[in-house]
Amino acid sequence: MLLKNSKITVIKIGSSLLIDEKKRVRKKWLTSFAEDVKNLTKLNQKIVIVSSGAIAMGCKKMNILKKNLKLDKSQAMASIGQIELMNLFSEIFSKFKINISQILLTLEDTEQRRRSINARRTFENLFNLNYIPVVNENDTIATSEIKYGDNDRLASRVAQIINADNLVLFSDVDGLYTDNPKKNNKAKLIKEIKDIEQDLTGVNIKGINEYGSGGMKTKIEAAKICQLSGSNMIIANGLKNHPIQNILNGDNYTLFVSKLSKLDARKKWILSSISPKGSVIIDDGANKALGNGKSLLAAGIKKVVGKFNKGDHIKVLNKRDKEIARGLASFSSDEIKKILGKHSNEIEKILGYVSKSEVIHKDDMVEII
């Protein structure tokens, strides 16, 4: 079973799962969900929860209808509701001795490489501290995210950043249907999708409710990101108690099967995301080391070309100016000029600080064949 064998799982829950149509917080549901999460951690899984609901919680506290809220009011409700939301999670998850933390992100944070690398390392540190990150979209400053969609795409970006095995999107339906099942009782559940463009030809994608926004459109966009990132994605009904256990017990869901391995997805992520900001020229020794899967160290760098910042996408050239790799720089161009040709143990003395010993870590680099 996918979820049982998963090492890293991202779970997205929508605001309609946290608050019912009468604006009541669904504490029993959240308690059952927390128990499910606890059971996954007993399998040594690393869990990330992406939660909508800040705006809905703010509207509940202020007794305001969320429907047709203008942007500035949505941002204000998010600010009020964010505290309410995290207090709710803390109250429920503490019953199962689950440590939670909060990470506020926008799509911009996840799409810019420098920011996404920092986010990934924050996730890794929280995992090491035995904390479960609860990711919320930073709705107090976000604009198009509030207006056009919920956290589906954000959840897929988080899955991409941390190389998750699976992303689970809990909805108010059993999965993706051939038509809106709330309006068409002849709509059929699509259980598995390998090729989105081919398998969804002719499918009528709709889904609207008061507290959840975006419907199935954003979920399919999320699935495209997951498939190219090496992650499977599941759309399942989260309304019933113990939603994760229900999947494990064989309840209906739609599975979007990953197209690529994580290695291939990582290469695509680095190679196709942004244009290189500069380059470094390396010696034969470093060239050989990179061919053996090693990180690029300052000692092997002969020259820096262009001006770039830490986290920027750069080229790695051999002495004949042939591009042999691309990667994400751990230092700026000015910093690399100061440490090129030097051993790693000299970096701190030269720069006055050290964050990493590698100029480009092997995990942030792709060899050009």
Q: How confident is the model at residue 38 (pLDDT cuts 50, 70, 90)?
A: very high
The pLDDT of residue 271 = 61
pLDDT at 348 over 80: yes
The residue-averaged pLDDT of 330-359 equals 92
Residues of each domain in the chain carrying CATH 2.30.130.10: 275-367
The pLDDT of residue 359 = 96
Q: How confident is the model at residue 269 (pLDDT cuts 50, 70, 90)?
A: low
The pLDDT of residue 148 = 35
The pLDDT of residue 313 = 84
Tokens describing residue 92: 């429920």
Calpha distance 164→48 (Å, rounded): 9
Q: How confident is the model at residue 52 (pLDDT cuts 50, 70, 90)?
A: confident
Average pLDDT, the chain: 86
The CATH number assigned to the domain with range 8-267 reads: 3.40.1160.10
The residue-averaged pLDDT of 16-37 equals 92
The pLDDT of residue 147 = 41
Calpha distance 226→220 (Å, rounded): 10
Residues of each domain in the chain carrying CATH 3.40.1160.10: 8-267
The pLDDT of residue 36 = 97
The pLDDT of residue 183 = 77
3-state per-residue secondary structure call for 88-127:
HHHHHHHHHCCCEEEEEECHHHHHCHHHHHHHHHHHHHHH
Angle at 155 between CA 3 and CA 315, to 5 degrees: 105
The residue-averaged pLDDT of 4-24 equals 90
pLDDT at 214 over 60: no
Q: Could you tell me which of 15, 24, 35, 7 has the C-alpha nearest to residue 246?
A: 35
pLDDT in tens, 106-162: 776 776 767 888 899 999 999 999 999 999 888 777 665 434 356 888 898 899 889
275-367 folds as 2.30.130
The answer for 195, left when phi > 0, alpha when psi is -120 to 50, beta otherwise, is: beta
